[in-house]
């Protein structure tokens, strides 16, 4: 299952599809859009390399601040090292680049598990000015521990995020990181990280600037909620996102019985398996303190399997 949508913005800039040789009106200024470069694997005659070359020729690369790498061909056969390598080769022309998203594909183009990623930290090495990096797809994803002084936002969307990737992220030195969003996924699609892998993050010893934490889309969402209940990192967060997973009453109860969450600006639990009574309990405990609580999208387990029938938002 995959219901991730095309990005409509990056770095606060509206996403605009680049089309080489396009007619019908002027394009936005290079620095006024998040430019999505993609090709249709079945309909377009041009390769992604040819489309990207046209992009560099037709849009002032020195002004480009945000780049979205969309479909680069048959993505389940060609890894993202192909488009990433081309972007890195143009680093001396993309001198204002601040944000990159790799793999902006939707279900009609490829299931999220089909998106073949690669070592995305190569972008961080090539672009020391990046402040935002996003990735969709966990297959073949590599994220060795890295150091980057300016990165403020890191998002990895996956139907299954390998524990090795999680450990690489959490072993990285990212002193400016304010926003971390990890879609952990399910074991059937490679999501083998557990709560113990999150220990460096939950201890509060990593990422001193962190203010938003998303640990979501997980089949161990209740265990994560229980760990969050006593995690030192929570005290300095302004927003916490535990949405899109299999959270039930047991996990929500652990959150409410743990450390205070009343300092948060927002708590996102949407797509959950809470009872109506627990929904009310969460809202009544936090909203009077000014916390925006999202308990929308109550789900029912598949069949008559009870907790075993719970499901995450994005897996296949």
* Per-residue pLDDT tens digits for 201-259: 999 999 999 999 999 999 999 999 999 999 999 999 999 999 999 999 999 999 999 99
Residue 114 dihedral angles phi and psi, to the nearest 5°? -85, -20
pLDDT tens for residues 81-117? 999 999 999 999 999 999 999 999 998 888 999 999 9
* Spatial distance between the Cα atoms of 192 and 174, rounded to a whole number of angstroms: 24
Higher pLDDT, 1 or 24: 24
Four-residue CA torsion sign, 242, 98, 129, 113: positive
Q: Report whether pLDDT(1) > 60.
A: no
Using CA atoms, how far residue 15 sits from 25, 77, 245, 274, in Å, is 17, 26, 28, 35
Considering the entire predicted model, what is its pTM? 0.96
Please give the pLDDT value at position 40: 86
Beta bridge partners of 91: none
Q: Is 103 helix (H, G, I), strand (E, B) or coil?
A: coil
User: Where residue 166 falls among pLDDT bands split at 50, 70, 90?
Assistant: very high
What percentage of residues in the chain have a pLDDT greater than 90? 89
* Dihedral sign, Cα of residue 270, residue 275, residue 276, residue 277: negative
Quick check: 33 and 66 in contact, CB under 8 A?
yes
What pLDDT is attached to residue 5?
84
């Amino acid at each position: 299952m995959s219901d991730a949508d095309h990005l409509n913005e990056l770095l606060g800039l509206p996403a605009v599809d680049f089309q080489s040789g396009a007619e019908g009106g002027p394009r936005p200024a290079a620095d006024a859009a998040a430019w999505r470069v993609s090709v249709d694997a079945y309909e377009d005659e041009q390769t992604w390399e040819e489309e990207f070359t046209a992009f560099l020729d037709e849009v002032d690369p020195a002004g480009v601040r945000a780049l979205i790498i969309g479909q680069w061909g048959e993505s389940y056969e060609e890894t993202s090292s192909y488009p990433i390598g081309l972007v890195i080769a143009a680093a001396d022309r993309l001198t204002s680049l601040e944000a990159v998203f790799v793999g902006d594909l939707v279900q009609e183009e490829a299931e999220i598990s089909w998106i073949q990623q690669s070592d995305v930290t190569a972008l961080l090495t090539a672009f020391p000015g990046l402040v935002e990096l996003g990735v969709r797809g966990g297959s073949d994803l590599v994220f060795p521990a890295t150091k980057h002084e300016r990165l403020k936002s890191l998002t990895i969307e996956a139907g299954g995020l390998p524990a090795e990737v999680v450990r690489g992220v959490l072993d990285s030195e990212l002193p400016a990181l304010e926003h971390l969003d990890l879609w952990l996924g399910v074991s059937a699609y490679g999501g083998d990280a557990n709560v113990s892998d999150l220990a460096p993050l939950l201890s509060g010893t990593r990422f001193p600037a962190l203010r938003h934490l998303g640990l979501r889309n997980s089949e161990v969402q209740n265990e994560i909620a229980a760990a969050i209940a006593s995690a030192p990192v929570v005290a300095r967060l302004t927003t916490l996102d535990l949405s899109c997973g299999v959270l039930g009453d047991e996990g929500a109860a652990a959150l409410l019985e743990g450390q205070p969450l009343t300092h948060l600006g927002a708590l996102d639990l949407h797509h959950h398996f809470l009872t109506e009574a627990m929904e009310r309990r969460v809202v009544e405990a936090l909203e009077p303190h000014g916390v925006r609580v999202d308990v929308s999208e109550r789900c029912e387990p598949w069949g008559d399997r009870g907790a075993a029938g719970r499901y995450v938002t994005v897996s296949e």
